[in-house]
Chains A and B, each alone.
Chain A
Amino acid sequence: MDYENAEKILEVKHLKQYFNVGKPDEVRAVDDISFDIYRGETFGLVGESGSGKTTTGRAIIHLYEPTDGEILFNGKNVDTFTSAADHREFRQDMQMIFQDPYASLNPRMKVKDIVAEGIDINHLAKDDADRSKRVEDLLETVGLNKDHSSRYPHEFSGGQRQRIGIARALAVDPKFVIADEPISALDVSIQAQVVNLMKKLQREQGLTYLFIAHDLSMVKYISDRIGVMHYGRMLEIADSDEIYAHPLHDYTKSLLSAVPVPDPEFERTRQEIAYDGSQENDGKSRHMVEISPRHWVRAADDEIAMYTRRAHEASLIKD
């Protein structure tokens, strides 16, 4: 990725997403996060369950009304849209691939109707023949047979269903796709097929991905940049190679140290690093600081020096 001339497709600014606001069981699922996604890149979002990564994805595609903060897509704030045309364009440009290929396809609809739903809603097909043609092309793009279009979802395996889900997302010619754990329900050998397909589509159609997952090795493989979330906060953002080789935040170090590696020698000597989450809640005000180029860490003012020193030690900063 050439970040010098890259253009921002999505800007998330101080997004807060609370549930049950004002009630005793208020949940701060996403608590003041900011990040940008550039056109044509894959941004990986990792974190444990409950860290708010799925909520972030859903807030971006506006399945929720944000509690606070703003989300700019192509420089425009979706919350200020007034015309139906703007909304339609937004819905067309941003699409989602879901985690569970068994639950996300309507079992009563034929594959062609599932895939064509977006085409119908947005009136993209001129006539029936055009609609069928589009569906068949889409199925072929995702590696399915065009004869499959008159079948029902239950006739397909998990990997094939996920391909149908991808075809459906692509039907409206989106620019930005949110993939929420798109491969975690699939077998290892099938995961690789789906990831390869997603990469191929990105190359061919210039898609931008927000890739949400908890499988860290797969996220590193597919992503250009990665954001690490914990308890609703973004703790660190950096290029994927860099964040894995030289994590600066203690939580990222701890998370990476827990990843099992398919190498018995390595596993015998693995040392896990413990992380104490209470240090985040000591009352200091923290915000994202760019410690080295494109490497952001959530830090309090008196911690910046420490992170800068760490970056120096990892020679991320050239003097």
Chain B
Amino acid sequence: MDNDKNILEVRDLQVNFKTYAGDVKAIRNVSFDLRKGETLAIVGESGSGKSVTTRTIMGLNANNADIASGTIKYKGEDLLKKSEADMEKIRGQDIAEIFQDPMTSLDPTMKIGRQIAEPLIIHKGMKKEKALAQALEMMKLVGITDAENRINDYPHQFSGGMRQRIVIAIALINYPEILIADEPTTALDVTIQAQILNLMKELQDKISTSIIFITHDLGVVAGMADRVAVMYAGKIVEYGTVDEIFYNPKHPYTWGLLSSMPTLDTGGDELPSIPGTPPDLLDPPKGDAFAARNAYALKIDTEKEPPFFKVSDTHYAATWLLHPDAPKVTPPEQIVERQKKYAAMHKELLAQQRTQGPVEEEEEKQ
């Protein structure tokens, strides 16, 4: 992997929450990279540790959080070793977050122009007039209509979609290197969601921000992500490019997630579902945490935790099914369909490369 292109490197991160009942092991050895300009989607159920991961990056964890181990390298420096004052400088300037709920993440008593300008005034020491002028530009950029007249309005005077645009404007005003979007469209209607997602893509092209996109909606992931990491019970269980995850998934949990979501073509009497519920992270199960809900579980799954097996240079999955000695299994019907599509796409790609001649191929080797 190309290290100099990585803007963020998370290694062996472990986060525990201290509670009366004991330590909740929310993040159990998570490692991943974020590259310049890419969108990395983190998907998983609630409680799988998606939000805790990003909150740890932002240094916004609750007081009872204990970062047991790991490093988070941003521009070569470990964010976990930084003081609160340093983190405050980084937040909002280098790393910004769009929160889930546009109804609660704005200050109801502050005019929105002022809210958007605030990061400029605080982080860059800009004069109020100049900051407000920039805020107005940003409002136009994120598509708030009639921005000149609305800059002095309060959040409650806007609709949900417009409020989310304001939240995005606040996050982007300092042109952050990394943008964390934690379920940014979950509270919105599909038509508004489509507008916001398009807006995020457009802005990413303009200011080449890297995005960490957290969601449980696989449809949104398919449209937004370059790479996908699937989390389960505080671990990443599979990661790869968006095509690899959607068309050639290897982990049974990814299989379950993809097939339990009906597409507009799904029929039949029973929707494939993942039985049971996620494990209690107060006392995570031995071996593979997904084993209890996994129809494809092997004996070894209950004894030993699977390491990452390499599927391709960009695609890894932590399941014993990929071990050379593992029995061959047939994934669920819907996944087989997806793999067929993948094979067809691959063939097309190869055919294209062949017709383009050997010059191209040599370039690729480098």
Asked if B45 is at the interface (CB within 8 A of a chain A CB), the reply is yes
Q: B223 to A267, Cβ gap below 8 A? A: yes
Asked if B171 is at the interface (CB within 8 A of a chain A CB), the reply is no
Give chain B residues whose Cβ lies under 8 Å from the Cβ of A217: 219, 261-264, 266
A21-29, A84-92, A146-154, A251-259 - interface stretch:
A251-259
Within 8 A of A (CB), among B17-48: 45-46
Asked if B341 is at the interface (CB within 8 A of a chain A CB), the reply is yes
B269-277, B322-330, B352-360 - interface stretch:
B269-277
Q: In the complex the two chains form, what is the Cα distance from A54 to B45 in whole Å?
A: 27
Query: With A192-B273, A265-B341 in contact, do A48 and B189 touch (Cβ < 8 Å)?
Result: yes
Give chain A residues whose Cβ lies under 8 Å from the Cβ of B216: 187-188
Q: B270 to A270, Cβ gap below 8 A? A: no
Query: With A199-B269, A266-B222 in contact, do A261 and B264 touch (Cβ < 8 Å)?
Result: yes
Q: B273 to A264, Cβ gap below 8 A? A: no
Chain B's closest residue to A267 (CB) is: B223
Q: Is the interface of A mostly helix, strand, loop or mixed?
A: helix
Asked if A263 is at the interface (CB within 8 A of a chain B CB), the reply is yes
Q: B256 to A189, Cβ gap below 8 A? A: yes
Give chain A residues whose Cβ lies under 8 Å from the Cβ of B190: 48, 214, 216, 255, 258-260
Which of B192, B222, B271 makes the CB contact (< 8 A) with A262? B222
Asked if A49 is at the interface (CB within 8 A of a chain B CB), the reply is yes
Chain B's closest residue to A251 (CB) is: B191
Give chain B residues whose Cβ lies under 8 Å from the Cβ of A160: 277
Which of B193, B242, B341 makes the CB contact (< 8 A) with A258? B193
Q: A267 to B191, Cβ gap below 8 A? A: no
Asked if B229 is at the interface (CB within 8 A of a chain A CB), the reply is no
Give chain A residues whose Cβ lies under 8 Å from the Cβ of B256: 189
Q: A262 to B272, Cβ gap below 8 A? A: no
Interface residue total, chain B, C-beta cutoff 8 A: 43
Q: A259 to B242, Cβ gap below 8 A? A: no
Q: In the complex the two chains form, what is the Cα distance from A268 to B225 in whole Å?
A: 11
Chain A's closest residue to B188 (CB) is: A49
Q: In the complex the two chains form, what is the Cα distance from A296 to B46 in whole Å?
A: 40
Q: In the complex the two chains form, what is the Cα distance from A3 to B192 in whole Å?
A: 36
Asked if B314 is at the interface (CB within 8 A of a chain A CB), the reply is no
Q: A259 to B264, Cβ gap below 8 A? A: yes
Q: In the complex the two chains form, what is the Cα distance from A255 to B218 in whole Å?
A: 18
Chain B's closest residue to A263 (CB) is: B222
Q: In the complex the two chains form, what is the Cα distance from A220 to B190 in whole Å?
A: 15
- Which among B247, B266, B273 has the greatest number of chain A C-beta atoms within 10 A? B273
Asked if A59 is at the interface (CB within 8 A of a chain B CB), the reply is no
Within 8 A of B (CB), among A219-276: 220-221, 244, 254-256, 258-268, 270, 272, 275
A160-199 vs B, CB cutoff 8 Å, 1 = contact: the mask equals 1000000000000000000000000001111111011001
Within 8 A of A (CB), among B206-249: 216-223, 242-243, 246-247
Asked if B260 is at the interface (CB within 8 A of a chain A CB), the reply is yes
Q: In the complex the two chains form, what is the Cα distance from A160 to B264 in whole Å?
A: 27
Asked if B343 is at the interface (CB within 8 A of a chain A CB), the reply is no
Asked if B257 is at the interface (CB within 8 A of a chain A CB), the reply is yes
Give chain B residues whose Cβ lies under 8 Å from the Cβ of A196: 270-271, 273
Besides the known contacts A196-B271, A258-B191, 6 further A-B residue pairs in the complex with CB atoms under 8 A apart: A217-B261, A220-B262, A221-B267, A259-B190, A262-B222, A262-B261
A residues whose Cβ falls under 8 Å from a Cβ of B: 48-49, 157-160, 187-193, 195-196, 199, 203, 214, 216-218, 220-221, 244, 254-256, 258-268, 270, 272, 275
The contact sample of 23 A-B pairs, CB cut-off 8 A, is: A158-B46, A187-B46, A193-B273, A193-B275, A196-B270, A196-B271, A203-B269, A217-B262, A217-B263, A217-B266, A221-B266, A221-B267, A221-B271, A254-B191, A260-B194, A260-B222, A261-B219, A261-B263, A262-B222, A262-B246, A262-B258, A264-B242, A264-B246
B residues whose Cβ falls under 8 Å from a Cβ of A: 45-46, 160, 189-194, 197-198, 216-223, 242-243, 246-247, 256-258, 260-264, 266-267, 269-275, 277, 341, 345
